[in-house]
Amino acid sequence: MSESVWKALARVIDPEIHRPITDLDMVESVKVDGSTVRVHILLTIAGCPMASRIERDVRREVLTLPEVESVEVTMGAMTPEQRQALTDKLKAGRQNHPITFNDPSSLTRVIAVGSGKGGVGKSSVTANLAAAMAAKGLSVGVLDADIHGFSMTRMLGVTKQPTRMDDMLLPPTGNGVKVMSIGSFVPDGQAVVWRGPKMHRALEQFAADVFWGDLDVLLLDLPPGTGDVAISITQLLPTAELVVVTTPQRAAASVAERVGSLAAGVQQKITGVIENMSWLQQPDGTRMKLFGEGGGQEVADALTKRVGYHVPLLGQVPLDQNLREGADVGVPLTVSGNMTEACMTLQAIAAQLSRRQPLAGRRLPLNVA
């Protein structure tokens, strides 16, 4: 029966590392005494916040075996040597490529979401796209690159801090999305007063020193404008594509074009434009266009002309009170079950961005001796 127990334990997934506990060497021993099974689990760190969940999952899976009537689970913690061995296993192959997303073998699609100015709803769009992708079964991460105006933890309902395992961080999850943000380390209301070099180093650590696992998509929530962070991203993650968010207002559109021109200047692919706050639906069915119209298409056309390939308008998202309310409580509209026009538009955009892109034309960070 011992073999059956080990197979059952292989179905227990660590909530933070997202791999079977058997693969992570967390099961120290299994003892079978008649119809009673005793399992000793080694947690990655003492006082692991996920201990009760792991214990519950172990009991559940082992009790599915018909010959088992009771399960006794005891918990311990890995020694520094065992934890280092696990860290080495998780980081295997990363020594020469500290940022795994830059490895030519990486299958993760990296999408930076940027805007020319603040207040256009870029972060709300990012959070809703990420949640929609995760709800469709994709493995999704969000790197909150807006160091001074971080908001991803609140918008995605993240309440826990990252878990530190030696020199590696395990990102917390909200609405099925792995999230890394400076907001997990800063008390509410406290400003982050950093200049360019320190922000660059923080982004580098978030990309390289975090165990993201095997992601299908990594979304980057950029700060508005074309400052230090936008430049750092093109250096740290050269394969990242850019999605530009704007409002219909012509003034906002002209500013948004500058973000695209920066991307074009460093040969970063521009995947598309999202027009947010396009209109307000009235009770009689008419659309009140509070911020004018045409800005999103104007940006898409201007960027198409600049880069020499088609930059599509991915969608127009109407104003929706539910979108704002969802951001405030950490439940993105796209997973709230409230199928408004804004929700369906964002879900459709997420579906477009989820499609695997061909490697043709993609700039790869290859070193040729």
Asked if residue 115 lies in contact with residue 230, where contact means CB atoms within 8 angstroms, the answer is no
Asked if residue 141 lies in contact with residue 217, where contact means CB atoms within 8 angstroms, the answer is yes
Of 87-96, 232-241, 256-265, the poorest mean pLDDT is in 87-96
| CATH number corresponding to 2-90 | 3.30.300.130
* pLDDT tens sequence across 121-141: 999 999 999 999 999 999 999
State residue 273 phi and psi, 5-degree precision.
Answer: -125, 140
Residue 64, pLDDT above cutoff 50: yes
Reported pTM: 0.76
Residue 195, pLDDT above cutoff 60: no
CA distance linking residue 318 with residue 296, whole number of Å? 12
Q: How much is the pLDDT for 319?
A: 96
Mean pLDDT of 60-74: 93
Domain limits, the chain:
2-90, 100-354
Q: How much is the pLDDT for 357?
A: 56
Q: How much is the pLDDT for 196?
A: 59
Q: How much is the pLDDT for 256?
A: 80
Mean pLDDT estimate for the chain: 86
Residue 159 binned pLDDT confidence (cut-offs 50, 70, 90): confident
Fold classification of 100-354 is Rossmann fold (3.40.50)
Q: Which amino acid is at 171?
A: P
**CA distances from residue 32 to 38, 83, 354 in whole angstroms, order as listed:** 6, 27, 46
Q: How much is the pLDDT for 266?
A: 77
